[in-house]
Amino acid sequence: MAREYDIAKTSGACSACERELTVEEDFIVALFDTAEGFRRDDFCKSCWESRPDDADQAFSIWQSRIPKPDAPKKQVINNNVLVGFFEKLAGHDEPAKINFRFVLALMLMRKKLLIYDGSDEEEGREVWTMHFRKEQSPVKVIRPELDEEHIAEVGSQLGALFEVET
């Protein structure tokens, strides 16, 4: 099951110029949706400014920083990044993306950004209806058949992706 969610952590080097990123250096993370799954590319600021050719096709983009080796792991994920990633996963039928979106919904509920309204069955699957705290537009989330172990596994992969402990 782990291979289904295999997303690399930072390589520590710029994907364009291959320069090693230094401690406390800000860099850009671009996540691409490929036929093989999500591909993560990290870019130093100067390479990002000249924009890779496929940058406009990135599924999600955010800024990160190389931590000090002895620094505690960053515990906070930017809410806008989480919401953007959650929204871009809407409408995808691939099991890994459904699972990611469901676990992101749980995270957003825990942060009190997404409110659960109820559930229905659609096409043989349980679908949760929700809304964002400051909006009333309904958001539908497929509830996959995940046990607690698999939810934790997906959460761990998301944590690795966003470079935080879950």
Q: What is the pLDDT of residues 67-116, one digit of tens each?
A: 888 766 655 677 888 898 899 999 988 888 898 898 889 889 888 899 99
Distances (CA, A) of 22 to 4, 14, 31: 31, 10, 21
pLDDT digits (tens, 9 = 90+) for 43-62: 999 999 887 677 778 888 88
d(CA 46, CA 27): 9
Neighbours of 162 (CB within 10 A): 21
The sheet carrying 37-44 orders its strands as 37-44, 26-34, 60-65
Residue pair 165/75 in contact by the 8 Å Cβ criterion:
yes
Q: Mean pLDDT, the chain, as a whole number?
A: 82
What is the pLDDT confidence band of residue 165, given thresholds at 50, 70 and 90? very low
**Is 70 part of any domain?**
no
Same domain for 97 and 30: no
Six-digit token string for 70 = 């002895």
Same domain for 54 and 9: yes
Q: Is the pLDDT of residue 17 over 70?
A: yes
Range of the domain at 39: 2-65
What was the pLDDT predicted at 131? 93
Residue pair 141/134 in contact by the 8 Å Cβ criterion:
no
Residue closest to 128 by CA, chosen among 88, 101, 96, 155: 101
Same domain for 155 and 88: yes
Same domain for 53 and 9: yes
Same domain for 87 and 51: no
d(CA 128, CA 114): 11
Count of the separate structural domains present in the chain: 2
**Is 71 part of any domain?**
no
Same domain for 84 and 55: no
Same domain for 156 and 86: yes
Same domain for 55 and 22: yes
Does this model's pTM top 0.85? no
